[in-house]
Structure 1
């Protein structure tokens, strides 16, 4: 059974989607139903810096990137939404990189 995870005004939702080839992260404001910022392995600046897009190193760099973008927007706390994926591997690497940059969840 899938639970609905919703962010609040002070704590938007960090939604992570993992496919076989790429990983995507979005900061979403659920009250206004809009995406505040996003990052993925498909972004031009991310593609330049990595050889593979489906490993933990790529997930860490996406996590650092989304954390830096959210800090620039003044977001310090988020609700983590992993969309019923196991907290392991690339999902865990992205989450730890976000925490290392100072975002709490």
Structure 2
């Protein structure tokens, strides 16, 4: 019997295999109870293009990373950073987390801020 974390990582592995075949940059999301993190990784998987999290000094005092509002702020921030680095099109890698709540809020905010996926 797989643990809850092992089940999530198994789901994540399948997604990453599909994204690697596409060869596009990927927007990965990781969440904990208190914070949420987003990273844009280049198409070949070798380089981190941009990162944003609820731990950043600009966001830390104003938003709670464990809330939907915090995830929305991180989504907008990652989209701004990715576009500044020249990445406009990404594949969304939810890392096995359900597309619901904070993960969904981050994705929708990134789309509204101009990332295409």
Q: TM-score, normalised by structure 2?
A: 0.81
Distance 1:28 1:91 in 2: 17
Question: What does residue range 1-105 of structure 1 map to in structure 2 within 5 Å?
Answer: 1-2=10-11, 3-5=14-16, 6-7=19-20, 8=23, 11-31=24-44, 33-50=46-63, 52-105=64-117
The answer to which of 55-64 and 41-50 deviates more is: 41-50
Distance 2:94 2:84 in 1: 23
Largest Rg, 1 or 2: 2
Q: CA deviation at 1:102?
A: 1.3
Moved over 3 A (4+): none
Distance 2:15 2:66 in 1: 27
User: Across the two proteins, how many residue pairs are aligned to each other?
Assistant: 102
Q: Is the 8 A contact 2:82 2:88 kept in 1?
A: yes
- Tell me which residue corresponds to 2:3: none
Cα shift readout 1:65-93 (whole Å, capped 9, x = no counterpart): 00001111121100100011110000000
Cα shift readout 1:24-79 (whole Å, capped 9, x = no counterpart): 000012515121110000111111322x2200000000000000011111211001
CA RMSD of aligned residues (A): 1.4
Q: TM-score, normalised by structure 1?
A: 0.89
Structure 1 unaligned residues grouped into runs of 5+:
none
